[in-house]
Structure 1
Amino acid sequence: MTPPPEPAARILVVEDDAATASEIAACLASSGYAPECSGDGEAALALALAGGYDAITLDRMLPGLDGMQIVRALREAGSETPILMVSALGDVDDRVMGLRGGGDDYMIKPFAPDELMARLEVLLRRHRRARTAETTLRVGELQLDLVRHEAHRQGRRIELLPMEFRLLEYMMRNCGQMLSRRMIFEAVWGYYFDPGTNLINVHVGKLRRKVDGPGEAPMFSTERGVGYRLDAT
């Protein structure tokens, strides 16, 4: 496994099963990370909101608050900490719910330690790139501040949820290109595409309504059965 950069990344392990928590923590520690464990939902949320963690592994079934309540509370509070959900709930609906709720990736128990580390390393690399890349994207009238996590169109501020922000960033970076639902799902959600999900349709629809305001020239276009495109006006 690829060793992490120094200083060691701090990982919050949220898991109420002591054996699983110990397994994850041992895996992280052996790779040079600094794990901290919490087995209670409310306590874990308080720790996560206090900040200082580079990533979080999060179980769905927890006492106090469940994993979905935790991830939603963090995203609503503006936290961009990468979250890898680790759960025995492995149905497609469960995975989609976890990703839609704000998780960055979703892993099903039982898991292979090497795969858990690989997925976590991907999330950490993606998060580091986002923090060190260019600070502003511009497409026509649309501007996206990557530091402040704000979007504006002709001076009008566009309120975005964290996943909407990531979706808009991806489409702006690929301006003028027709993007398939598979491309969007795997690039933004980082998970293997399920052709039966309407997740992309829902998120693109909400984002389109926010970006293309009343009286403004539409920037989003759809080609049925092909995908979506963002164009400069």
Structure 2
Amino acid sequence: MNLKASGYRVIVAADGHEGLRRAFDDAPDLIVLDIMLPGISGLEILQELRERRVEVPVLILSARDQLPQKLEGFGLGADDYITKPFDLKELLARIDAALRRRRLKQRDESTLSFADVVIDFNARTVTRGGRDVATTPREFELLALLVRNPRKAFSREQILREVWGYEYEGTTRTVDNFVVSLRQKLEKDPQNPRYLVTVRTVGYRFDP
């Protein structure tokens, strides 16, 4: 499956244990999950992900095409199920559809997720890998501003106005400090952030 040629960054795991670890460590946008894996099965991985509230889309690959097996996968939280053998074009179409559904869902719901992070706007809570992440009120407002406007670059001055208000007398360095704090809490590699990125000479944006 040459997904890289289609523009995707691909991470491959050799067995179930590595797959589960990398699902948490690498925080992919989507998981293509084979049921028959050495170590632990794909279904066990799926169950563990959902129990820990990791909402990343999961597309199951399997040679088992009977309805009971498919229902089991969907029952555990799979987003799609494709049987082998399959055409690469079909797989790519299903991947695109799953990612598109995820983006639409995030716009409409009171919760939003990226990688293994889940933000509940009503409860004003953040979890990562199923574990609570403590955020200050300002950190939460800053995070909400960015993730609700994916790929939109905000200047530091805009962020100060939106999050701190027009009467705030601090400097734009305040924004930098808060972004650093959020990266420490939410990014796998805070020094090389994947989601809360710097826009040179402008400010910051959220890349889903």
Q: For the superposition of Structure 1 and Structure 2, which TM-score range results when normalised by the shorter chain?
A: 0.5 to 0.7
1:105 is the counterpart of 2:80: yes
Take 1:150 and 1:103, find their aligned partners in 2: how far apart are those partners? 26
- TM (normalized to structure 1)? 0.47
1:131–1:147: 8 Å Cα contact kept in structure 2? no
Q: Name the CA distance, whole Å, in 2 between partners of 1:128 and 1:134.
A: 10
Per-residue deviation at 1:30? 1.4
1:37 aligned residue (8, 12, 17)? 12
Cα deviations by residue, 1:51-105 (Å, 9 ceiling, x for unpaired): 5210000001111100110000000010000000011011111111111111110
Aligned to 1:73: 48
- Identical residues among aligned pairs (%): 38
1:61 aligns with 36
Aligned-residue offset at 1:129:
1.6
Q: Once the two structures are superposed, what CA deviation does each residue of 1:113-166 show, in whole Å capped at 9, x if it has no partner?
A: 111011111100111122233537xxxxxxxxx942989xxxxxxxxxxxxxxx
The change in CA–CA distance for 1:64 and 1:127 in structure 2 (over 3 A counts) is same
Q: Gaps (5+ residues) in structure 1?
A: 1-23, 137-145, 152-233
User: What does residue range 167-186 of structure 1 map to in structure 2 within 5 Å?
Assistant: none
TM-score, normalisation: structure 2: 0.52
Tell me if structure 1 keeps the 8 A contact 2:33–2:61.
yes
Q: Is the 8 A contact 1:59 1:85 kept in 2?
A: yes
Partners in 2 of 1:149 and 1:98 — Cα distance? Answer: 29
Selected match of 1:148 from 116, 120, 145: 120
Aligned to 2:11, the other structure's residue is in SS state: strand
Q: Give CA deviations for 1:149-203 in whole Å, capped at 9, x if unaligned.
A: 989xxxxxxxxxxxxxxxxxxxxxxxxxxxxxxxxxxxxxxxxxxxxxxxxxxxx
Q: Report the equivalent of 1:164.
A: none
TM-aligned CA distance change 1:98 to 1:133, over 3 Å: same
- Residue in 2 that maps onto 1:167: none
Aligned residues: 117
Aligned with 1:95: secondary structure?
helix
In 2 relative to 1, CA 95–149 (structure 1 residues): closer, same or farther, beyond 3 Å?
farther
Q: Is the 8 A contact 2:110 2:121 kept in 1?
A: no
Q: Distance in 2 between matches of 1:64 and 1:78?
A: 22
Match of 2:92? 117
Q: Distance in 2 between matches of 1:135 and 1:102?
A: 20
2:64 to 53, 74, 89: 89
Distance 1:68 1:149 in 2: 30
Task: Give the direction of change, closer, same or farther, for the CA distance of 1:150–1:74 in structure 2 (3 Å limit).
Answer: farther
Distance 1:148 1:51, change over 3 A: farther
Q: Distance in 1 between matches of 2:21 and 2:122?
A: 25
Aligned residue in 1 for 2:179: none
Partner of 1:47: 22
Amino acid at match of 1:98: G
Deviations 1:34-65 (A, max 9, x none): 11111210110011022521000000111110
Counterpart of 1:183 in structure 2 is none
- Structural RMSD (CA): 2.0
